[in-house]
Amino acid sequence: MHSMMSKTLLVAALALVTVGSGVTGTPAFAAEKATHASPWPAVKWPLPNDPALEKRITALLATMTVEDKVGQLVQGDIASLTPDDVRKYHLGSVLAGGNSDPGGKYNASPAEWLKLVDAYYDASMDTSQGGKAIPILFGIDAVHGQSNIVGATLFPHNIGLGAMRDPALMKKIGEVTAVETRVTGMEWAFAPTVAVPQDDRWGRTYEGYSESPDVVASYAGAMVEGLQGKVGTRQFLDGRHVMVSVKHFLGDGGTTNGKDQGDTAVDEATLVRIHAAGYPPAIAAGAQSVMASFNSINGEKMHGNRHLLTDVLKGRMNFGGFVVGDWNGHAQVKGCDTTHCPATINAGLDMVMAPDSWKGFYESTVAAVKAGTISRARLDDAVRRVLRVKFRLGLFSAGKPSMRAVGGKFELLGSPEHRAIARQAVRESLVLLKNNHALLPLSPKQHILVAGDGADDIGKQAGGWTLNWQGTGTVRADYPNADTIYEGIAQQVKAAGGSAEHAIDGRYAKKPDVAIVVFGEDPYAEFQGDIPNLLYKPGNDTDLQLLKRLKAEHIPVVAVFLSGRPLWVNREINAADAFVAAWLPGSEGGGIADVLLRKPDGGVQFDFRGKLGFSWPKRADQYANNVGQKNYDPLFPFGFGRTYADKSDLAALPEDSGISGEVAGSGVYFIKGKPALGIAMQLSSASQAHMPAATVPALLADGSLQVTAVDHLAQEDARRFTWSGTQPASLVLATKTPVDMQRETNGDVMLIVSLRQESAPTGDVSIGMSCGANCGGSVPVGAALAKLPMHQWTTLGVPLKCLARAGADMTRLDAVLQLQSVGQLQLSMSRVALGALNEAEHVVDCAH
């Protein structure tokens, strides 16, 4: 592991961290702790005890009922919680999740956001139905700027910021994010993420600054100070700053095989040395909240881990804020569900994120306190921690959000000053991997072709957690204060007397002197981004062929790669003269032009200064690829990054990925008319169950269902299924090993089928999933099919929650699709995959 870093980890927190004696641990660590001093650092909490504040909290607690107190521990989401609910139950907090927006509009205006936040605040202060006037905390995922809001400044995602190695700039980024969050009324940002990703297959890799705990530790305190202000100054938690949630405690970046919400199977020393690196400096900077992680540590879910939440975080590390949960994360604790989990409060969680389960959780927790399952002392401790933060923020006297220091000052969103800081971050984040024949920097006086599907697409360059959870489905008009990469290049080229041409496919009108090709990963977030290996877009070589075609035409090529992680792109690197890792740069495409282009007089504008925060793989199966690990052998090592002073050329790279066979991305079950690896396509009826349909055409012996090949985007890349109606029959996509979709179900994910309806059904049609003998759930889709256009390709989504409610055990699925028709039906299908709510053109309504 990171032996070379263990000596320097705690230095990152400077003199604020010391090591001392141990505390009692859970059985997983009992043997180690019985014979050694505690490996956990003792941190100095920077806020002195305030007797006057504590007296005020004690007085308030004395007037509160059990119901009042429990309300403070519950956080609901705006999609499932109204201001009237807050008025009645006096919940302590409200959040807007990634897909939750005013009026259900992902592109709601800043004014609509502020009006909504005001309404929840007013409800929390309304005692007309009883309860106490205690202001809510309104939280939002402002993870790369206030990224939910149209017009906000969008910073590079953390993976790009980590490449800067610039803590001072991080503080400025935190300050801008705080101001723009306050403009729209929120006082709580669910940031920063201090994960230390160890397997780049993880879908949240881009939310980590680096695989190195040193880099993460160097940023954590700076970002907390930027967001909250500096402890001891008048700016700390004032109206231009927000409270933070340092996340996710603990081990989120270390799960086995990079599976989001999985199990981090490591010893305690590794937890301390690697995964806890960001917490001592964040606590020392006065972080007001820490978010518990979805993952397990050696089999024990963090939302129920008393040793780490209470003994270590609050005890050993002297954390003086409160611990908040993640989206229904408590439901994964043994013996719990979304609406009932005394164990999570007893373990040390102070506020439960119960987005759609808040009412049931509130009621069961009130009952648990009255029954003694949760002690009054634990209840009061949790409430005291929450109230303490609200008083520190000055919320009891702040008035409604629109009346605070910057509330409603929408001109601050994406202001020139803020965008300049983001543009600097883009410049500093770029990592130059190849620059053969010193092609870069380019003269702006040339004719420059800008190609690739990432060249003129803000959504793609911004990535996930942008206007919605997955960052998908947005349009150019959603980004009024932003420049695409092409726009940034074109502005400078034209100003210098050159010319720029944009063509996604590289089919130019005038042969260019040089081409800049911008391509990369499409947006994703959380587990939707988990991948089985480090192949780049397996089965799709469109970008590679574009690079090769331009090179064949003797055009020098600069590749700008957009990604949330290092990927195996040896072929693409070979096909380009220069290759830039641009990560997910956000709103300021001009920052890329600043580095790639010379000044009009030929001088260098800005040199490359980015250094890899993540090691780059030699092969697509190189998952253990972190600096300091045994047999460390990357293509480009941690810390690598060329500058214009480096004149050496990069030799051709080997093009063996190390992966064999056709591989689809995670959550894709049927693609290009064929089942993905690990999936078998079967036809089934009462007289002939589970007939393999590996080749086409295929026909059940009773004639009830037939499959043939058909074209969608390419020759025979889809399948046509024809039900005769002689008896019920099903198309089945069976898994070779059980599949667990519990996290996807909790995350409001859908099963999305790309299909073309060729004939209307004459009987009932259903889509379901199965989980073994006498286990499964299905929903009728006949009404949804009736609304689809005939003979046109479209997408139909079925929310996983519907299938779970219908009886499917989502933890052990053995068939991810069962499409049954009782009568006649003909439809074609090209793809079956998981996707977010906004990714399907039509959605099955199964609310009732």
In the block, residue with structure tokens 């006649």: 824
Q: What is the DSSP string of 785-818?
A: HHTSPBTSEEEEEEEHHHHHHTT--TTSEEEEEE
Gap between the Cα atoms of 242 and 288, Å rounded: 10
CA angle in degrees (0–180, nearest 5) for 807-810-812: 110
Name every residue whose Cβ is closer than 8 Å to that of residue 208 and which is 6 or more positions away in sequence: 158, 159, 162, 193, 194, 195, 196, 197, 216, 253
How far apart are alpha carbons 228 and 285 in whole angstroms? 9
Angle value at C-alpha 687, between 682 and 691, nearest 5 degrees: 20
Task: Tell me how far apart the 2 most distant CA atoms of the chain are, in Å.
Answer: 82
User: CB of 185 within 8 A of CB of 114?
Assistant: yes
Q: What does the DSSP assignment read for 186-209? A: --EE---B------TTSTTGGGSS
**Rg of the Cα atoms in the chain:** 27
- 693 by Cβ neighbours in 10 Å (0-12 / 13-18 / 19+) ranks as buried
Q: Where are the alpha helices (DSSP H) in 690-795?
A: 742-746, 782-786
Kindly state the DSSP code that residue 115 receives in the 8-state scheme: H
- CA 644, 646, 649, 653 dihedral sign is negative
Asked if 389 and 351 touch (Cβ cutoff 8 Å), the reply is: no
CB proximity list for 31: less than 8 A, separation 6 or greater: none
The C-alpha atoms of residue 10 and residue 41 are separated, in whole angstroms, by 8
Contact 592, 562 (CB under 8 A): no
For residue 573, the SS3 value is helix
Which residues are CB-contacts of 85 (< 8 A; sequence separation ≥ 6)?
A: 76, 91, 123, 358, 359
Q: How many CB atoms lie within 10 A of CB 697?
A: 11
From CA 95, how far away is CA 793, in angstroms rounded? 37
| Neighbouring residues of 299: CB distance < 8 A, sequence distance ≥ 6 | 28, 263, 265
DSSP code per residue over 13-72: GGGGEEE-------GGGHHHHHHS---SEEE--SSPP-HHHHHHHHHHHHT--HHHHHHH
Which one-letter DSSP state was computed for residue 78? T
Residue at 764: amino acid letter: D
Whether residue 427 contacts residue 595, with contact meaning beta carbons closer than 8 Å, is answered with: yes
Q: Give CA–CA dist 333/317, Å, rounded.
A: 24
| Partners of 672 in beta bridges | none
* Sequence-separated (6 or more) residues with CB below 8 Å from residue 718: 672, 673, 709, 710, 711, 712, 756, 828, 829, 830
Q: Give the integer Cα–Cα distance in Å for 218 and 162.
A: 10
Exposed/middle/buried for residue 44 (C-beta within 10 Å: 0-12, 13-18, 19+)? middle
Q: Which residues of 252-285 are buried (b: 16+ CB within 10 A; e: fewer)?
A: bbbbeebbbbbbbebebebbbbbbbbbbbbbbbb
Task: List the catalytic residues.
Answer: 326, 526
3-state DSSP assignment of residue 756: strand
* Bridge partner residues of 793 (DSSP): 756
